[in-house]
Amino acid sequence: MKLLKNMDLLVVDDSDIICKSSRILLTKIGFNRDKIRLVGQANRAVLECRVTAFDILIVDYNLGEGSTGLQLLERLYHEKLLAHDPIILIVTADNSATVIRSFSEFEPSGFIVKPLRVDVLTESLKACMDEKAFITRVVDSYHQAGLSEALPTLKEAKSKKIYNLALTKLCSEIISVGEDDIASRLLVNYIKANSYVRAHIMYVDLMLKAGNIEEAEKVLLPLRKANRFSVPVLELECRFQFEKGMYEQAAESMLHLHKMSPQRLPRLYALILQHVGFLANENIAKLIQELAFKSSHSIWEEPNLYFLLSWILLQEAEFSNRSTSEIWGMLTRNKKFTKPDNSLQSRLGVWSLANSGQYSAAYELLQSCEEVEECFETLFVAYHTLHVLGMWQEMQSTLQKLVAISDQEPQSLLRDIQNKMAKKLIADWRSQKSTLVTFPKSFDGLPIEYLFKLWGDYRFNIKVAEQIVSHDDYKQQEGIAGNKSLFKEVNLTIEQNKKLIEE
């Protein structure tokens, strides 16, 4: 392990006085003053962690401006900025069971109650560094010589706590190299005689991943009974219920989870997604407004989130008469629009036009929209917009991207829900596609009436558009009043395609 003077530290506290006094205390312990970064906001802390892999993070629980130390850790883990396993100390004025429990799934290295004192800080840091040094030794021995060396090293642990931490870290390393079966065997043998919750959770997680629902349930039920107030255990139960298709029970569990840990905004977002994808919920607008209110000025405030929430609200009866800009303004508290905001709102406008049957206007606006970041939210709405427009071939490529992105979500519960939503859309797409008019391999000799039917299922397809305008009966059919909107769409498709070629 590095010498104290070579370690990089990050102190996160919304009080400038506490930040500066913390630096004084840390320099007295032996840390280099120039390697101690002080920040007062969660967003700044994320930026610092993107640049520097800090050895130690000292984080205040209450960071002001809508963010907490819990949300900061959540964001850092989400962006995989803590993969190097730094020492994390949480500083709080309230060391109640509720506060400590809320951090349980992240397992910070320790908690320190304000006010900070040199002796307490020194003792806490020494204990954390001893733990980290031992865990590193166990993991290194595994990478150098495999389990034959790692397991004897593990037995040298000086306490049950260090043994538990080292075992689960070892299993994480084994899983990271694709040896899930080996990790499962280690964990199942250990949990038979030990109650360490993290080990049980890891094992159930592996069983869910392997599709062994029966084994997962066998371990989960007694674990849930013994840990009724454990947030990670309850979240695991939600994932289990969701995997079994028990959507109503999962929703109830998630609502309970939200009440236990209301600051975990991705979990509230997961609850909203579940209702959008699998259940109709009369309180969805209330949940969305709660998420938008809590996200505002927080570390989770992102345009893509407001984009999806706005799209959901546009479909609610009480918001159906409001414009996209009105709903966006309501969710963002009328903040000034940025360029990405405008691009996303344009895409909401495409969906609104398409949903009201104004296909030509929707398609024309879609072609003029600027590119947006491809993420779960934008792809999910894009799929539904293309579905309304009847652009089936584009829907297929969008679905492929949606599945790939949902697999990359680091948060387990959210990943499970997004992945299941994407797979459900694929099943729906395949089912509906089987009812479509068959797309011909050759257009030779096809009557124009067949091309019209084809257009209904493959709207704005350039191949179909070109076949219609080049058909012998085109001029005759063009004069029929009932075909006016169809030919407008066909001609618009050809015009837009020409523009793309010219560009």
Q: What is the pLDDT of residue 479?
A: 66
pTM exceeds 0.85, yes or no: no
Residue type at 411 in one-letter notation: Q
SS3 category, 403? helix
Write the CA distances from 114 to 59, 62, 118, 119, 361, integer angstroms: 12, 12, 12, 13, 60
Say how far apart CA 503 and CA 501 lie, in whole Å: 5
Q: What is the pLDDT of residue 236?
A: 94
Q: What is the pLDDT of residue 66?
A: 65
Say how far apart CA 454 and CA 462 lie, in whole Å: 12
Tokens 């120039």 correspond to 34
| 4 CB-near residues (< 8 Å, 6+ apart) | 29, 30, 31, 32
pLDDT, mean of each 10-residue run, the chain (503 residues): 89 92 93 95 93 96 79 88 92 76 81 89 93 95 95 95 95 94 96 94 95 96 90 92 91 87 84 86 81 80 90 87 88 78 92 92 91 93 93 89 90 90 91 83 87 86 89 78 80 83 65
Contact 31, 124 (CB under 8 A): no
Q: What is the pLDDT of residue 131?
A: 94
Q: What is the pLDDT of residue 301?
A: 82
Say how far apart CA 443 and CA 434 lie, in whole Å: 20
Say how far apart CA 416 and CA 405 lie, in whole Å: 12
Alpha helices in 192-338 (DSSP H): 197-210, 213-226, 231-243, 247-260, 265-277, 284-295, 303-314, 324-332
Q: What is the pLDDT of residue 211?
A: 92
Query: Residue length, the chain?
Result: 503
Contact 175, 142 (CB under 8 A): no
| DSSP state, residue 5 | G
Spell out the domains of the chain, with CATH numbers in brackets.
1-116 (3.40.50.2300), 291-432 (no CATH), 448-502 (no CATH)
Q: What is the pLDDT of residue 481?
A: 60
